[in-house]
Amino acid sequence: MIDSHSHIYLPEFDEDRDEVVVRAKEAGITKILMPNVDGQSIRAMMDTEAAYPGFCYAMMGLHPTSVKGDYREQLATVEYWLGQNDFLAIGEIGIDLYWDKTWEREQREVFRTQLNWAKKSGKPVVIHVRDAFEAVFQELDKVHDSRLKGVFHSFSGNKTQARKALEYRGFMLGINGIVTFKNSGLDKVLAEIGPERLIIETDAPYLAPVPYRGKRNQPAFLKFTLEKLAAVFDMPVEEMEQLTTRNAAQLFGLDL
């Protein structure tokens, strides 16, 4: 399994990161992909990648909830780092109107800027969207072409939004512990969409799946999301594992 979205570089793992990585490997995880948040998270992320070479992979981007008054400086930092390292992807980027709509215009600008960087570099994008599907689709429609590919991370939208997201060729849906939540309804949405363009993720330390909901999430818990998806599509767990792993490897240009 590939955990396609995990923040194990955050302080929540400072006490036991080595053990978390060991447990991930024991659970069948072969790679952990780490999206950046902002200028303050880069050093910890890079250090984590260096500590676990060939297992942890860094991305570079500016998260929408970090778009504030200093967003131009933050963007400049991201652009600098993109010129220094060959990152796996541009992420995590997007629009988040759940907590605060104050910076929506700036979030749109930052999102669009990073999408254009992805087009020029040929790197996939990891899109964060919360209470903002309409805004994200509007901005994507402005710049989308055949060079753009990526994933709608932590997808929790409805059937219409899922179908719209998959109209963008080269894009997939990132599924995490939300699909195991009793009242999320995501299992019913996915059942109508099909499994062909899904990848799996934890978003650790957030969104731990049942039976660990409310606890600190970690990559080893990815198997619970995988098992739920296999049940949704009435597929053997091994087949679902192969499909989602192959999808992630293809999207991010990873060797299996």
| Per-residue pLDDT tens over the stretch 162-185 | 999 999 999 999 999 999 999 999
40 burial via Cβ count (<10 Å: 0-12, 13-18, 19+):
exposed
Question: What integer is the mean pLDDT of 22-41?
Answer: 98
Residue 99 or 63, more confident: 63
Q: Answer whether residue 135 shows pLDDT above 90.
A: yes
How far apart are the C-alpha atoms of 97 and 95, rounded to whole Å? Answer: 7
Per the confidence metrics, is the pTM higher than 0.95? yes
Judged by DSSP in three states, 79 sits in helix
DSSP bridge partners of 90: 60, 125
Q: How far apart are CA 56 and CA 219, in angstroms?
A: 11
Question: CB neighbours of 250 closer than 8 A, spacing ≥ 6?
Answer: none
What is the pairing mode between strands 125-130 and 90-96? Answer: parallel
